[in-house]
Amino acid sequence: MRTDTPTVIGLDDYRPSDHLADTIHLDILLHPTATRIVAETAFRPNPAGRPGAPLVLDGDELRLCGIELDGQPLPAEAFEASPQGLTVLAPPQRPFRLRVVTEVDPTANTKLMGLYRSGGIYCTQCEADGFRRITYALDRPDVLSVYTTRIEADESEAPTLLGNGNPGEAGAIPGTGRHFAIWHDPFPKPGYLFAVVGGRLGKVSKPFTTMSGRPVEIAVHVEPGKEPRAEYALDALERSMRWDEEVFAREYDLDVFNVVAVSDFNMGAMENKGLNIFNDKYVLASPETATDSDYANIEAVIAHEYFHNWTGNRITCRDWFQLCLKEGLTVFRDQEFSSDQRSRAVHRIGEVRTLRARQFTEDAGPLAHPVRPNQFREINNFYTATVYEKGAEIVRMLKTLLGEADFAAGMTRFFETCDGTAATVEDFLDAFAAVSGRDLSDFARWYVQSGTPVVTVRTEYDPAQARYRIDLTQETPPTPGQAEKGPLVLPVALGLVSPTGAAIAADCADLRPDGVHVMAGSRASLIFENVRERPVPSLFRGFSAPVKLRLDLGDDDLLALLEHDSDPFNRWQAAQMVAMRLLVGQATSESGTPVEASLLRLALALGRVLVVESERDPAFAALLLSLPSETEIAQEIGSDVDPDAVHRAWLAARGTIGTVLAADLAAIRAATEPDGAYSPDAASAGRRALRNVALDLLASADPAFGEREADRQLAAAGNMTDRLAALAVLSRIPGDTRERALARFAEDFAGEPLVLDKWFGIQAAIPEPGTLDRIHGLTSHPAFSFTNPNRVRALVGSLALANPTQFHRADGAGYAFLADIVLMLNGSNPQVAARLLTAFSTWRTVEPGRRANAESQLKRIAREQNLSPDVSDIVARSLSEA
Ligand SMILES: [Zn+2]
């Protein structure tokens, strides 16, 4: 294990590699505990590098078994080797071939980086620094090589052998029980996109013909027997490939495209060229085992990894600081895909909820960093909501700023000029500047400045002049390492709405015809003429910039937006704002309930809107009925948060809304009784979402009724969505019914690890003092394992991220539990440990007692010897003062 203090790597330290590696021939002899890797690489000095420099190859926990240069064994004095690296001291100043033999133990590899075994299947994960755990290499994204991989294994153990690129020669090795397959990838790529798979796998496949008429075989490989559950992923893959042709004119470029599902996986999925490896959670689905959100996630993740073939693989990153170049852009692309496949408004609201819950929280705490960080100690810790989700928001703003046509032309130019290269954020922006003729240097600040801008709005109506004025100011609070902030370029999509619902035609010189004002400085004033009645402004329509909005509007104005705005996002947002004010007021006031009247008004307005929306767009109606989460409320309060008070406010508000709307909600339930077979399509999923939100609110108002109704739904449910929704409602109502339901569920799905994850997750999220003991007990459940990241995330992650009252227990027991788990996983799987540890990132915002408890647990972790770089980086940043 690495025990050294990780060194800080800076963006400004970038220099090109001294050597290039044009081709790599790998011979991988798979064996459960002693896999031998023979790597023959054609190196040459890089003309852009330092002449005469040694060849310094990266390694990580490697064992060197042999080394030859141009066919001759390399004498011991000519190189230095350790598990962490291999240096050829004076390599030839001309092209040469280096043959390196290493040996690794895939079974012992619990870090799940490099080559490892998952349920008997050999697989790899090389992003970011995993290739160096297979062989010594120039393991950096700007060194691109053409790979040829020969894979050999026992035929009985691994009948399927898959690699990157196109399949070549394959066959048995007579008399040995072993066989081999050769794969050749003609597209030069960095080591992080390398992959091999070997195992006993079933598959579903179909032919795909690309836009230029080339035939491709697309396939999804899963554990034998689970093939029917891979059909939806295969269908999503086919739709993704077609969509990328239609929308971005991107065509697939190999003869085969393989997806493999494995059960032990640190992340969601990995876009290795032509051989995507997936966490099986994002592949396997059947109506009996997967929820509507599972189906939607599978569609999104399949699309995301496929889209990387162009944004990530054909055009890769020069260095890891440019991670957002591939991730932010690809998240934007998968969001657009999902929006085209589903309801755009509903999808947008979902994106923003995720952004606020995860990225805004990150931006407000000690782990805040720019979308393109300028330094890191452990790159694994930068696969964050900021790089991914905020990175996608920047691309979306760029599109709004430039308009459809220039954005499309810029993307085309980026594809054309950067294909085959390792690019930077500057290369990306240059493409758009070139086609639009615009200077994007101010806009580029979005990539380098961390923190969430706060936009404050003042409005003024002058009836005598029929003039309306909107003053906007923006300010970004300081974040670690960045005390001073500059103004950001904000595309403000806006319109005026009459409180009575009538249309308002107004003139504003500073508004583009498409209703967008581009705010470039810290202040802006918009004057509207010929405004005949006092309007309500609808600002940042569609969430046109990732900002926090401070509006000077009263509840009546916001409720008018809820009822009359033409922008569905702002209708939802208006209801959220009213609810948020009430919830924050309730959670921070010491006296009783001064907000009851406002809550009643909100509930009645929602009831009026529901009449139309529950028919027109049930998924949208379901979102209107969903209050801000406890995480969002805590974030809004910002300091000295008492999670118990937040929870009480949240419960009370749901109870009131459920009571006021009881008749409407019952009518919704009656009108949405399931009929016919389950289908995962968006319309059917929307009806189920609305039906289940109605159940949830009715149960909040009347737990006895909720218990009966949820129990009835659980018994009758023909699909996992309705079953799980009912179980979630029951889980919050203590008693025998709940315990019986939980026990029954575990019996029914005993052989289904992904379904049991839901069961673990629901129990870990129960907001009751007994939950921590329950979780302790569940860690010894036969289906639980600390070596499987999905299990750990389901049980421990749900406590840390989905159960604020129990994680933030006043006695500190929740923090101590998480710290124990982090320390336990620090050695075996540092990535998962570090990810769990980020749950502490809000520790400075809780009230002093809890804050002291959290700090003492963080310090306890920091004192530990042998901390992995992953964990030590997060704990140090979490504790740092600035
Ligand atoms: Zn990605």
d(CA 274, CA 369): 32
Q: 757 with 794: CB under 8 angstroms?
A: yes
Q: In the predicted model, is pLDDT for residue 3 greater than 50? A: no
Q: How far is the CA of 499 from the centre of ligand 1 (A)?
A: 43
Q: How far is the CA of 797 from the centre of ligand 1 (A)?
A: 21
Q: Which residue has the tokens 């339930």?
A: 669
So what's the pLDDT on residue 592? 53
So what's the pLDDT on residue 796? 98
Q: What is the pLDDT of residues 150-196, one digit of tens each?
A: 999 999 999 999 999 999 999 999 999 999 999 999 999 999 999 99
The mean pLDDT value for 330-347 works out to: 97
d(CA 115, CA 467): 67
Q: Annotated catalytic residue: which of 127, 305, 378, 636?
A: 305
Q: How far is the CA of 24 from the centre of ligand 1 (A)?
A: 25
d(CA 746, CA 783): 10
d(CA 555, CA 763): 37
What are the start-end ranges of the E strands in 210-299?
Answer: 215-222, 256-262, 269-270, 275-279
So what's the pLDDT on residue 6? 59
How large is the angle between the packed helices 568-588 and 630-637, nearest 10 degrees? Answer: 70
The mean pLDDT value for 746-759 works out to: 98
Quick one: what percent of the chain has pLDDT higher than 70?
99
Q: Which residue has the tokens 């697989």?
A: 123
d(CA 762, CA 209): 43
Q: What is the pLDDT of residues 211-221, one digit of tens each?
A: 999 999 999 99
Q: What is the pLDDT of residues 241-285, one digit of tens each?
A: 999 999 999 999 999 999 999 999 999 999 999 999 999 999 999
Phi, psi of 725 (to 5 degrees): -60, -40
Cβ neighbours of residue 161 closer than 8 Å, sequence gap 6 or more: 151, 152, 153, 170, 179, 180, 181, 196, 197, 198
The mean pLDDT value for 515-522 works out to: 97
Mean pLDDT of the chain: 96
Q: Is 305 a catalytic residue?
A: yes
The mean pLDDT value for 755-773 works out to: 98
Q: In the predicted model, is pLDDT for residue 224 greater than 80? A: yes
Q: How far is the CA of 166 from the centre of ligand 1 (A)?
A: 22
**3-state secondary structure (DSSP) of residue 485:** coil
Q: What is the pLDDT of residues 278-301, one digit of tens each?
A: 999 999 999 999 999 999 999 999
Q: 233 with 155: CB under 8 angstroms?
A: no
Phi, psi of 779 (to 5 degrees): -65, -20
Q: How far is the CA of 269 from the centre of ligand 1 (A)?
A: 8
User: Which residues line ion ligand 1, judged by CB < 5 Å?
Assistant: 327
d(CA 334, CA 329): 9
Taking CA 877 as the corner, what is the angle to CA 193 and CA 10, rounded to the nearest 5 degrees? 50
Q: How far is the CA of 824 from the centre of ligand 1 (A)?
A: 28
Q: What is the pLDDT of residues 105-153, one digit of tens each?
A: 999 999 999 999 999 999 999 999 999 999 999 999 999 999 999 999 9
Query: Does the reported pTM lie above 0.95?
Result: yes
Q: In the predicted model, is pLDDT for residue 696 greater than 90? A: yes
Strands 160-163 and 145-154: unpaired
Q: How far is the CA of 278 from the centre of ligand 1 (A)?
A: 12
Q: How far is the CA of 448 from the centre of ligand 1 (A)?
A: 20
Q: 43 with 20: CB under 8 angstroms?
A: yes
Reference 724, options 750, 701, 749, 702; nearest CA is 749
Q: What is the pLDDT of residues 388-419, one digit of tens each?
A: 999 999 999 999 999 999 999 999 999 999 99
* Tokens matching residue 604: 């009645």
Reference 91, options 130, 129, 41; nearest CA is 41
Q: 695 with 713: CB under 8 angstroms?
A: yes
Q: How far is the CA of 82 from the centre of ligand 1 (A)?
A: 32
So what's the pLDDT on residue 248? 98
Q: How far is the CA of 116 from the centre of ligand 1 (A)?
A: 21
Residue 502 pLDDT level (bands cut at 50, 70, 90): confident
So what's the pLDDT on residue 2? 38
Reference 515, options 490, 492, 497; nearest CA is 492
Query: What are the beta bridge partners of residue 470?
Result: 459, 526
Strands 202-209 and 490-493: unpaired
